[in-house]
Chains A and B, each alone.
Chain A
Amino acid sequence: DQQVKQNSPSLSVQEGRISILNCDYTNSMFDYFLWYKKYPAEGPTFLISISSIKDKNEDGRFTVFLNKSAKHLSLHIVPSQPGDSAVYFCAASDSGTYKYIFGTGTRLKVLA
């Protein structure tokens, strides 16, 4: 049972436009969410996180939105840059545990 789902395996966006990456989860106990970026032959690197007490968190060009009722989160990148081309993973955990459940990833390609 896939508790964290990223239904779009890939996404292409023109440079300068907005990239929107989506993530859905099924476990209502999840209350902490993270986004990671992964380049080929490198480990995932932390991008941004959000706690369930918020519905939005912003860091520079990156904003994460959380819709608890829909069990949905999204990552917005504005403006998109060619260097943003990577695989993006969302991950979730619930308070009191240490186990992070990851989605299958979305490959973003930003076209110059």
Chain B
Amino acid sequence: GAGVSQSPSNKVTEKGKDVELRCDPISGHTALYWYRQRLGQGLEFLIYFQGNSAPDKSGLPSDRFSAERTGESVSTLTIQRTQQEDSAVYLCASSVRGGTNEKLFFGSGTQLSVL
């Protein structure tokens, strides 16, 4: 597609359940980011993938969070045993190479609500 695609756009789940969020980056973009935006807060970095390099997981808030990326395409962010504080908009972004002076292209996000 022309842009970054995320699914689902909305997800409501019960506390304790696992959720999986998907991101399709722009074709040809080797770098992929996940960010989180809690209500009233800024974008919080979660994880970064670049090509076949080991991902930078330094932003993941707990071991309940994990992410995978297949080659240079689809990425999945998984949250296990969801908690109410996980409620947020999860945004995926991609860029051409992930280098300096590059702009990120964002998807529309997944609004996650944990009841």
Chain A residues packing against B (C-beta within 8 Å) = 2, 4, 6, 32, 34, 36, 41-46, 49, 51, 89, 91, 93-105
Point out the residues of chain B lying under 8 angstroms from A51, CB to CB. 101
| Closest residue of B by beta carbon distance from A102 | B43
Kindly state the separation between the CA atoms of A36 and B102 in the bound complex, as whole angstroms. 13
Q: What are 11 A-B contacts with C-beta separation under 8 Å? A: A4-B42, A34-B103, A93-B100, A94-B100, A96-B100, A98-B50, A100-B45, A102-B35, A102-B42, A103-B42, A104-B40
B99 in contact with A42 (CB, 8 Å)? no
- Give the interface residue-count category, chain B: 20 to 34
- Pair B100/A104 contact, Cβ less than 8 Å: no
Chain A positions within 8 Å of B93 at CB level = 43
Q: Check A43–B31 contact: CB distance below 8 A.
A: no
Q: How far is the CB of B107 from chain A (nearest CB, A)?
A: 5
Q: Which 9 A-B pairs have the closest CB atoms?
A: A43-B106, A102-B43, A104-B42, A46-B103, A98-B98, A102-B42, A43-B108, A44-B106, A95-B100
| A99–B56 alpha-carbon span in the complex (Å) | 9
Q: How far is the CA of A105 from the CA of B101 in the complex (A)?
A: 21
What string of 1s and 0s marks CB contacts (under 8 Å) between B92-115 and chain A? 010100111111111111000000
Could you tell me the dominant secondary structure of chain A's interface residues? Answer: loop
Q: Is the CB of A43 within 8 A of B101?
A: no
Complex CA distance for A89 and B40, rounded to whole angstroms? 12
Contact bitstring B45-63, A, C-beta under 8 A = 1, else 0? 1001010000010000000
Q: Are B109 and A43 in contact (CB under 8 A)?
A: yes
Residue in B closest to A95 when the chains form the complex, CB atoms: B100
* Interchain CA distance A43-B41 in the complex, whole Å: 15
Chain A residues lying within 8 Å of B41, measured Cβ to Cβ, are: 104
Other A-B pairs, 12, CB within 8 Å; known A6-B42, A34-B103, A98-B98: A43-B6, A43-B108, A44-B91, A44-B106, A45-B106, A46-B103, A89-B42, A91-B43, A94-B100, A98-B95, A100-B33, A102-B43
| Chain A CB within 10 A, most for which of B45, B91, B100 | B100
Q: Is the CB of B100 within 8 A of A32?
A: yes
